[in-house]
Amino acid sequence: MDQSSTRLLPPETPRDFGFFLDGAYVPAGDREVFLRNSPGHGTPVTRIPKCTTEDLDATVAAARAAFEDRRWSGLSGADRAAVLLKTADILEARTDEIAYWETLENGKPISQSRGEVGGCVSIFRYAAGVARTLHGDSFNNLGDKMFGLVTREPIGVVGLITPWNFPFLILCERVPFILASGCTMVTKPSEVTSATTLILGEILKEAGLPDGCYNVVTGSGSTIGQALTEHMDVDMLSFTGSTAVGRSCLQAAGSNFKKLGLELGGKNPQIVFADSDLEDAADGVAFGIGFNTGQCCVSGARLIVEASIADTFSEMVAAKLKNARVGDPLDEATQIGAITTDAQNDTILGYIAKGREEGAKVVTGGAALDIGQGQYIAPTVFSNVTPDMAIARDEIFGPVLTVMPFETLDEAITIANDTIYGLAASVWTKNIDKALTVTRRVRAGRFWVNTTLSGGPELPIGGFKQSGWGREAGVYGVEEYTQIKSVHIELGKRDPWVE
- Piece in contact with ligand NDP (CB under 6 A), picked from 59-67, 177-185, 224-232, 365-373: 224-232
Query: Minimum CB separation from ligand NDP for residue 301, in Å?
Result: 10
Q: Catalytic positions, please?
A: 263, 297
Q: Which of 185, 196, 208, 199 is nearest to 84 (CA)?
A: 208
Check binding of 242 to ligand NDP (CB under 6 A): yes
Instruction: Give the separation between CA 168 and CA 164, rounded to whole angstroms.
Output: 9
Nearest approach, Cβ of 241 to ligand NDP (angstroms)? 3
Cα 143 from chain centroid (whole Å): 46
Q: Which of residues 4-33 bind ligand NDP (CB under 6 A)?
A: none
Does 222 help bind ligand NDP (rule: CB under 6 A)?
yes
Q: In what order do the strands lie in the sheet with 482-490?
A: 137-139, 146-154, 482-490
Q: Which of 265, 294, 422, 477 binds ligand NDP (CB under 6 A)?
A: 265
Given 241, 294, 327, 374, the residue binding ligand NDP (CB under 6 A): 241
Q: State phi, psi for 41 to the nearest 5 degrees.
A: -130, -15
Tell me whether residue 22 or residue 263 sits nearer to ligand NDP (CB atom): 263
CA distances from 480 to 156, 163, 488 (A): 12, 20, 23
Is 264 a binding residue for ligand NDP by CB under 6 A? The answer is: yes
Alpha carbon of 474 to those of 97, 151, 233: distances in Å? 27, 19, 27
Whichever of 103 and 190 has its CB closer to ligand NDP, that residue is 190
Q: Which of 51, 110, 186, 297 binds ligand NDP (CB under 6 A)?
A: 297
**482 belongs to the binding site for ligand NDP (CB under 6 A):** no
Dist. CA 352–CA 366, nearest whole Å: 6
Q: Which residues of 371-397 are buried (b: 16+ CB within 10 A; e: fewer)?
A: eeebbbbbbbbbbbbeeebebbbbbbb
226 binding ligand NDP? (CB under 6 A): yes
Quote the CA–CA distance of 309 and 391 in Å, as a whole number. 22
SS3 (DSSP) at 168: helix
Judged by CB under 6 A, the number of residues near ligand NDP is 28
Q: Counting contacts by CB under 6 A, is residue 39 touching ligand NDP?
A: no
- Interface with ligand NDP, residue 165, by CB under 6 A: yes
Q: Closest separation between CB of residue 468 and ligand NDP, Å?
A: 8
Question: Which is closer to ligand NDP, CB of 165 or CB of 364?
Answer: 165
Beta carbons within 10 angstroms of residue 475's beta carbon: 14
Binding flag, residue 60, ligand NDP (CB under 6 A): no
The region of 14-22, 114-122, 225-233, 472-480 touching ligand NDP under the rule CB under 6 A is 225-233
439 binds ligand NDP (CB under 6 A): no
**Percent helix, strand and coil across the chain, each rounded to 5?**
40, 20, 35
Q: Which residues bind ligand NDP (CB under 6 A)?
A: 161-165, 190-192, 220-222, 225-226, 229, 240-242, 245, 248-249, 263-265, 297, 344, 347, 395, 397
